[in-house]
A and B are shown apart, each in its own frame.
Chain A
Amino acid sequence: MKNKVNKESLWHQIVLNHRNYVLLFPFFFFFVLFTVLPVLTAFYYSFTDYDMINPARFTGIENYARLFLEDDVFLIALKNTIIFAFITGPVCYICAFLFAWLINELSSGLRLLAITIFYSPVLSGQLFTVWAFIFSSDRYGLINGLLMNLGIINEPIYWLTSPEMIMPVLIVVQIWMSLGTGFLSFVAGLKGTDKALYEAGSIDGIRNRFQELWYITFPQMAPQLLFGAVMQIVSSFSVGGISTSLAGNPSPEYAGQTILIHISDYGSVRYEMGYASAIAVVLFVLMFFSNKLITKLLSRVGS
């Protein structure tokens, strides 16, 4: 009975605020069509065996059982993704903020230049392929050539093909790539802070720039910090293109495998869409809870 009342009142609410719903509709429509539906479809297919040509066959939790119990490569992918998400991610996040903070102190012309430089990796999209050139495994590759000329090494290092070197190189490139992710919102946030508060703060006994940062700047920047963090999480969990472009798909001994590559390996190389969907669902769950965690952590900022 109570439920019914609630439903009625929801409908009632909608009727009352129909203009808002009309305005919301276009976004809502496309959001459902291109985001919610695919997620639900993936969820469905994760319980099937589906090769995209023959009809899907329901197999229950077989895919998940295989994923967690049999798939050794998934563990490598998970490990690498977690390294990207919880080590590279925060490093980038902190660096991006530090750079934004430093740049904020520059004169406006220099600041513009610095912003352009730091943001360019994001703007340029596929530009990270220059790293393939820099880290070329050939003896005439940039870094190999340099090190050999300096007499540090005698034989070229197989940067992107030797299983041990792949992750370090990828981490460097990923850091370079995602510095810009939160960076622009941080710059905007810093610009938007209320200058009067700093004056008030210094009267109230702020002793140094770090106290100023913690007690005044951060609380004012909370929305930008959250935005930056979410973006960082998303980009860290979805590292894939970099690895496939630089180390190949699959990378040697799966050293550069991430969850996203694992998905595309199964989805587009082996045409096992069902299994790929199961991995995607796991990734979705991981991202969802990481976002929750980050939101929680950030709520403590400035307190």
Chain B
Amino acid sequence: MVKGWQKGLGILLSVIFMFSSITIAVNAENTYGDSDAITEADNISVSDELSYEEYLKNINEEENYSAEEILLTGNNTLKIKNAEQKSEYKGKKNVVEIGQVASEITWEVNVSEDSFFFIKINYIPIEYKGKEISYSLKLNGSVPYKELGTLILPIRWVDSLDLEEELKTDAYGNDIIPEQEQKPEWSTVTVYESRGFYDEPLGIMLKAGKNTISFSTIGEPLVLESIVLYSPEKEKLLSYKEYYEEYSKKEQNTKNDFFKTIQAERPVAKTSPILYPTYDRSDPNLQPSSPSSIKRNIIGKGWENYGQYLEWEIEASESGFYRLAFKYRQSEKQESSSMRKLYVDGSIPFEEAKEIGFEYSRGYSVMTLGDKEEFFIYLDKGKHTIRLEVTLGDFSEIVRTLSQVQEKYSSIYRRIIMITSTSPDIYRDYDIEIEIPTLSDELREMADKLKSVQALLEGDGKYTADTKTLDEIIIQLESFVEKPYTIPERLSRFNSNNTTLSTYISSLQIQPLELDYIILSSKDSELPNAEANFFEKMLFEIKIFLSTFSNEYTSKSAQKKDNTIEVWLNSGREQLNVLTSLIDSSFKEKYDINVELKLIHCTLVQSILADMEPDIMVGISRNDPVDLALRGAIESLDEYDGFNEIKSEYNKEAFIPYILENKTYAIPETQTFNMMFYRTDIFEELGLSVPKTWDEFYNVSKMIIHKNMEVGLPYSNADFTGIFPTLVLQNGGEFFNETQTAMAFDSVQVIESFKTWTDFYTQLSFSLFKDDYNRFRTGEMPLSIMNYSFYNTLAVAAPEITGKWAMEVVPGTAKSDGSVDYTTTATGTAAMMMADSDKKDASWKFLKWWSSSEIQAEYGNRLEYILGASARYTPANMKAFEQIPWSNSERDIILEQWNYVREISNVPGSYYVTRNIDNAFRAVTMRNQNYREALNYWTSETNKEITRKRNQYGLN
């Protein structure tokens, strides 16, 4: 009995702990957010452009296949805008050269009757920092369907070393990633949808009579030889059976014992520099392999997106049929195969080669072509190329349908939250089905589409786990149709289903595959074992273990010499590797200075205290140089030779945070600033225009919030990248007085700016904490000001909203003379030299080298090859920025904002500035204090600290 109440007490105590927190929450309840204000029906029709699927429905393409072929060359153009006709370029005649400006070339085409064509493009890229060429095709002056508006021509890349050459190694015998370079070559590309949503090429329908066709680019340079309109009949391929019969008639001289392997990590062409050789040491049968050093022996990291291909060169000793086999690993997609298209000498040999599936294989396997019967390919004696290109195959229709559903999903979610807000009152009747009369039809249509996808998937009988995900969504959609009044309460689930769906779509889209080698052999040759047996593996592991006693891993450079400088890098492992290879390739020998590079994350102070500081520190955060310089730990750089030349390559403001008492203590590396991001589709739906000034921004925000959506402002209590500094500078206020001995926060401009800033939170209740990426994606937050590097996050990780958002300069403030001031502040990292360094000349050479535009650009680009576009480098060096692969329009808008960037200086005690601005901000937004008093109080605290610090270091 006693035990009983004791247990009860135990439970009671734990319950009390949990609830003590909740009761606190209740007291803090805030009554803002009453959505009664929205009573009018928000029936907004979502206008979508025509898709290719719909386009095909409107025409009878099959009845209108034309037998003729139309050739559009540089000779028969109708109109050329911003491009140049050339009689000859790299062996081709009558071409059009298109430069780095938006250009358009138009042809006139006459057809005698309505005809349907596929399109081929013959072109050569001009070497350029971009990674692919975007273009669009117009028919009679407009894009006939949206897929033709976003087309892509690949650029071919190669490792910059000869095929016979071995990979270069570092001091320990580890292979170094070969440098990547563009290899412009004449190529022919059939026009496909750029994401692989359509299995077949895209076609256009020409009406009888005169038509015009235009090819327009946005600024990536190329030379266009011709555009060919051809009959879809020509796309028909032989089946393997026909192919085999056809080629059996030719000579058959293949030697019986022919067997050759081609190392897959050494392709002759690739579509992206990210497809560089990687390594795997899990198996001794990998070629090449070594127990003690890194051998780059496989390829395929990042080889998973539609359209990417790798091309190899093979050589047949005699004409005849050959077996083609691949040693591969596909350990990511358990449910389905990874699909590739096989090209031999640039064309697909037979129908089956359009879709070669690499089944799930956790370890390595050897696969020959064909499923039940093996496929052989016929090769004439001599060199040939084979190419594997990522395709979606069967899945293209499924992915397409799912994407359509997902798009609908987002739009419905948005329309619902405009009525209910993201956290609906579940006790209230919203009458959603009356507010959005088409809702149930749309939901039913979505459910039907999902069901059709499910049927397609289940048709193969092996994708059961996949379809479960869909089941859940279908059930919810159907019950929404039946019981629309339950929608508000299940809204969050509805939204998370949306996320599930988009994750699912991208999992279907990626087609990962890694290759070790390719085998070209005679028909009946024996295939090697893909993996070593248990004992071989064990022996290999033992060797690896033994080699750990002799290898050195800690530092990235070979022997110590007298002229060795020590460089600390405050960044990540990939950055270390890239910087190492850069130093190896273009610093060491050129200057005869050895560099010991270390990856270290710690405050420098301890190392200075222990007298173990480096010569150079790279990647240090914005506030540290001045803080340490104050204490005499940093070398000032103004006097060094060539400093002014370096400075001239930067934004005029970039050095300001690193200047103390007129001396510069660091060279900026990165510099980032805010830009405004908005969803074009939602702005269009709501009839909003892009805000140019803060007044407009305030009004637009009001409308967005009225529709239960959010607006995002950056908020940071650590640096000067919030909105407050932007407002202060735009209004003509300043942070510090002229001598930088105190804050200049007593001016009207500053106080008004502070009010404007806090008003966003107190009057419009902006969220202080938010997940920008997700809310921008779902459309809950259609307007947000964020760091410009966010652009790439969105471009890479949110494919479903491609083309539905844009980046603009931040809102400005109108000046009395009618101009608008778009000033914003920036943050970044820097490199600096320690005052105690005993190799200052060598160190300065390193700093100069590192800050030069070529090295900064090269570093950024190499980093991007390895980490992908989402990790795009944001150099402070403006000349280097020109080399970073932004498209022209993106670059222009970033540069426009950059010209308005102003930096705020670091003064002794700077940490107190941001800290106390934040304190004042919270006092106003969370405790409803008067903005003037709060700002004054905390500013006086800051001034005290600045004075104290200045006295301490004898600066007064």
Q: What residues of chain A have their CB less than 8 Å away from a CB belonging to chain B? A: 49, 51-54, 95, 98-99, 101-103, 105, 135-140, 143, 145, 147-149, 151-158, 161-165, 168-169, 172, 175-176, 209, 248, 250, 252-254, 268-271
Contact = CB atoms under 8 A, between A and B. Distances in A.
Given A52-B608, A53-B608, A154-B31, A172 B20 contact: yes
A54 B632 contact: yes
Nearest to B605: A52
Q: Give the top 9 A-B pairs by smallest Cβ distance, nearest first.
A: A154-B33, A53-B631, A137-B769, A148-B423, A155-B30, A162-B926, A138-B769, A252-B922, A102-B6
B368 to A, nearest CB: 50
Interface string B488-501: 00001000000000
Nearest to B608: A53
Contacts of B926: 158, 161-164, 252
Nearest to A49: B952
Given A102-B9, A149-B423, A172 B17 contact: yes
B24 interface: yes
B631 A153 contact: no
Interface stretch (B346-354, B436-444, B890-898, B911-919): B911-919
B911 A269 contact: yes
B32 interface: yes
B234 interface: no
Contact of A151 (B22, B425, B927): B425
A165 B911 CA distance: 24
Contacts of B627: 271
B631 A157 contact: no
A70 to B, nearest CB: 9
B422 interface: yes
Contacts of A153: 25-26, 28-30
A172 B919 contact: no
Contacts of A49: 952
Contacts of B13: 95, 98-99
Contacts of B25: 143, 147, 152-153, 157
A271 B631 contact: yes
Given A138-B770, A172-B20, A162 B922 contact: yes
Nearest to B765: A155
15 contacts: A49-B952, A53-B608, A53-B609, A54-B632, A136-B769, A140-B771, A143-B21, A152-B25, A153-B26, A154-B29, A157-B28, A172-B21, A209-B2, A253-B919, A269-B911
B927 A139 contact: no
B457 interface: no
Contact of B605 (A103, A151, A176, A271): A271
Given A151-B427, A153-B30, 7 more contacts: A138-B771, A143-B25, A145-B492, A154-B31, A155-B765, A162-B927, A252-B919
B10 interface: yes
Interface string B755-773: 0000000000101111100
B205 interface: no
A54 B631 contact: yes
B26 A152 contact: yes
Contacts of A145: 423, 492
Decide if the interface of chain B is mainly helix, strand, loop or mixed: helix
Q: Residue among A54, A149, A155 with the most chain B CB within 10 A?
A: A155
Nearest to A270: B911
B853 to A, nearest CB: 33
A147 B18 CA distance: 13
B628 interface: yes
A68 B769 CA distance: 37
Interface string B869-881: 0000000000000
A150 B209 CA distance: 67
Q: Residue among B9, B771, B915 with the most chain A CB within 10 A?
A: B915
Contacts of B31: 154
A248 B29 contact: no
B293 to A, nearest CB: 37
A220 to B, nearest CB: 20
A95 B422 CA distance: 40
Contact of A102 (B10, B20, B24, B30): B10
A138 B422 CA distance: 13
Contacts of A154: 29-34, 423
Interface in B176-215: none
Contacts of B608: 52-53
Given A51-B631, A162-B926, A105 B6 contact: yes
A138 B10 contact: no
Interface of B: 2-3, 6-7, 9-10, 13, 17, 20-22, 24-26, 28-34, 422-423, 425-427, 492, 603, 605-606, 608-609, 627-628, 631-633, 717, 765, 767-771, 911, 915, 918-919, 922-923, 926-927, 952
A7 to B, nearest CB: 39
Contacts of B425: 151
A151 B488 CA distance: 13
A148 B421 CA distance: 12
Contacts of A209: 2
Q: Residue among B21, B34, B605, B923 with the most chain A CB within 10 A?
A: B21
B927 A138 contact: no
Contact of B426 (A98, A136, A151, A155): A151
Contacts of B633: 53
Nearest to B33: A154
B768 A137 contact: yes
A149 B422 CA distance: 10
B427 A163 contact: no
Contacts of B28: 153, 157, 162, 164-165
B10 A99 contact: yes
A98 B7 CA distance: 11
Contact of A253 (B423, B603, B609, B922): B922
Contacts of B7: 102
Given A105-B6, A253-B923, A158 B29 contact: no
A133 B922 CA distance: 21
B21 A169 contact: yes
Contact of A152 (B2, B29, B771): B29
A83 B586 CA distance: 60
A155 B911 CA distance: 31
Nearest to B919: A253
Contacts of A53: 605, 608-609, 628, 631-633
Contacts of A143: 21-22, 25
A67 to B, nearest CB: 14
A219 B452 CA distance: 76
B934 to A, nearest CB: 10
B32 A147 contact: no
Contacts of B952: 49
A145 B31 CA distance: 16
Nearest to B836: A53
Contacts of A54: 631-632
A163 B30 CA distance: 16
B674 to A, nearest CB: 21
Contacts of B10: 98-99, 102-103
B5 to A, nearest CB: 10
B907 to A, nearest CB: 14
Nearest to B20: A172
A140 B423 CA distance: 10
A250 B718 CA distance: 10
Contacts of B423: 139, 145, 148-149, 154
A155 B770 CA distance: 13
A253 B2 CA distance: 48
Contacts of B911: 269-270
A102 B915 CA distance: 47
B245 to A, nearest CB: 63
A139 B25 CA distance: 13
Contacts of A161: 768-769, 922, 926
Nearest to A57: B952
Nearest to A168: B24
Contacts of A103: 10
A105 B3 contact: yes
